[in-house]
Amino acid sequence: MVRSGKPTIADVASLAGVSVSAVSKVVNGKSGISSSTRERVLAAAAKLRWTPSATAVALRAAKTRAVGMVLRRETNLLSTDPHFTLLIDGIERELAPRGYGLLLHIVGEEQLAEETAYRRLAEEGRVDGVLLTESRVGDTRFALLRDLGLPAVLVGTPWEDDPIPAVRAPHSDCGIHQAVEHLLRYGHRRIGYISGPEDRVHTHHRIRAVEEVLEEHGLGTAPSVTSGDFSPDGAVDAVREMLAHLRPTAILFANDSMAVAGLSTARRLGVEVPRDLSIIGHDDLPMSELVYPRLTTVRQDLVGLGRAAARVLLAALGEVDDGHVQVNPPELVIRESTGPAR
């Protein structure tokens, strides 16, 4: 006779000839079970291919063993930039081995859609916590999540010391410091920085990091910053503008896509890289090795950051004791797009 539907704990119990609680204890590794019982239960469970229903366990425990992540697709950032894929890869490496799932939501650019997504996640109780990225100036998500009572961990630097748990790389400015020093060593003096969107917290940190090194070397003046919006199109305009006025001998970009766009723009204007202009990207995404010339860039350990964030969240959920994962500090990867100042 064929049983329809999935087997339940009761099926396993009756096949093993024991009570349901015995089965429960066995699969949960509780004590107070004779080894003969244990074996019969295990055999029955294997035979039936039974695994405890995640939903039933979730209802019972009031925990879903899933974490959420909501991503905003702004100016196609999501698809231009494998940034998120790497982060998610890292996150999964911590979640998967512990049987946690990742519930992903991609929402439009409207603020409301994002808020709704978080609200639903919380109110429907679909996840035990969430992971946030792209820390924003005046970020309202932290407050919302606290309000919703949903544990959250941010990848990045919180806005204005908001007490949200956050992970970031050690010596987080040091990659940029290295980048600027690398340029300085090559004799560059007019250095441009094409930043990310102004509503990102890291944008301001990075600008500050560039300035620090410059000041340290007595190049008191602020670097000429033309704010990009992380989109390659914006970068193209910013580069044209910058080349026409500041006439820099080197430009740093806030991400690799913009740097690649910068590379092409230079080429298009007859500016040769690195002979006439040095270019440095940020993140060290796979594309930086694909282009010509290969991009010098500030490597970020995105996979490590993802892992660390997941780990901290898991710790907050009482799943692991030690929320610590090693994250590599950012470092400059020198390739072909930088050279001596003319």
**Which residues lie near a second copy (CB under 8 A)?**
5-6, 49-56, 58-59, 62, 64, 66, 73, 76, 78-82, 84-86, 88-89, 92, 96, 99, 101-107, 117, 120, 123-126, 232, 257, 260-261, 263-264, 267-268, 285-287, 289-292, 294
Residue 297 forms beta bridges with which residues?
A: 281, 333
Task: Tell me how far apart the alpha carbons of residues 95 and 99 are, in angstroms, rounded to a whole number.
Answer: 6
Stretches 4-12, 130-138, 175-183, 322-330: which one binds DNA (CB under 7 A)?
4-12
Stretches 30-38, 138-146, 217-225, 277-285: which one binds DNA (CB under 7 A)?
30-38
Whether the bond between 274 and the residue before it is cis, its omega within 30 degrees of 0, is yes
- Build a one-symbol-per-residue string for 200-239: x at contacts with DNA by CB under 7 A, - elsewhere: ----------------------------------------
Nearer Cβ to DNA (5/220) = 5
DSSP 98: G
The binder of 34, among DNA, a second copy, none, by C-beta within 5 to 8 A per type, is DNA
Smallest distance, Å, CB 289 to a second copy? 7
The binder of 20, among DNA, a second copy, none, by C-beta within 5 to 8 A per type, is DNA
What's the CA angle centered on 320, arms 135 and 124, to 5 degrees? 60
Q: Which amino acid is at 238?
A: A
Smallest distance, Å, CB 16 to DNA? 8
Rule CB under 7 A: choose which of 1, 3, 4, 28 binds DNA: 28
Q: Are 246 and 224 in contact (CB under 8 A)?
A: yes
Q: Which amino acid is at 28?
A: N
Stretches 12-20, 108-116, 245-253, 308-316: which one binds DNA (CB under 7 A)?
12-20
Whether the bond between 97 and the residue before it is cis, its omega within 30 degrees of 0, is no
Task: Tell me how far apart the alpha carbons of residues 25 and 30 are, in angstroms, rounded to a whole number.
Answer: 5
Task: Tell me how far apart the alpha carbons of residues 18 and 9 are, in angstroms, rounded to a whole number.
Answer: 11
Stretches 28-36, 106-114, 291-299, 318-326: which one binds DNA (CB under 7 A)?
28-36
Nearest in space to 236 (alpha carbons), one of 207, 258, 269: 258
Smallest distance, Å, CB 277 to a second copy? 14
What's the CA angle centered on 331, arms 325 and 335, to 5 degrees? 135
Smallest distance, Å, CB 279 to a second copy? 12
Three-state DSSP at 149 gives coil
**Is residue 43 at the binding interface for DNA, with CB under 7 A as the rule?**
no
Structure token pair of residue 291:
């282009």
Of 251-270, which residues contact DNA (CB under 7 A)? Answer: none
The binder of 8, among a second copy, DNA, none, by C-beta within 5 to 8 A per type, is DNA
Rule CB under 7 A: choose which of 2, 62, 112, 244 binds DNA: 62
How deeply is 55 buried, as exposed, middle or buried, from its count of CB atoms within 10 A (0-12, 13-18, 19+)? exposed
Of 119-148, which residues contact DNA (CB under 7 A)? Answer: none
Stretches 15-23, 127-135, 194-202, 235-243: which one binds DNA (CB under 7 A)?
15-23
Three-state DSSP at 276 gives coil
Nearer Cβ to a second copy (197/223) = 197
**Is residue 60 at the binding interface for DNA, with CB under 7 A as the rule?**
yes
With a CB cutoff of 8 Å and minimum separation 6, the contacts of 61 are none
**Is residue 14 at the binding interface for DNA, with CB under 7 A as the rule?**
no
Between the alpha carbon of residue 304 and those of residues 21, 89, 155, 233, 255, the distances in Å are 40, 9, 11, 30, 18
Task: Tell me how far apart the alpha carbons of residues 165 and 316 are, in angstroms, rounded to a whole number.
Answer: 9
- Which residues would be at the binding site for DNA (CB under 7 A)? 5-6, 8-10, 17-25, 27-28, 30-34, 36-37, 50, 52-53, 56-57, 59-62
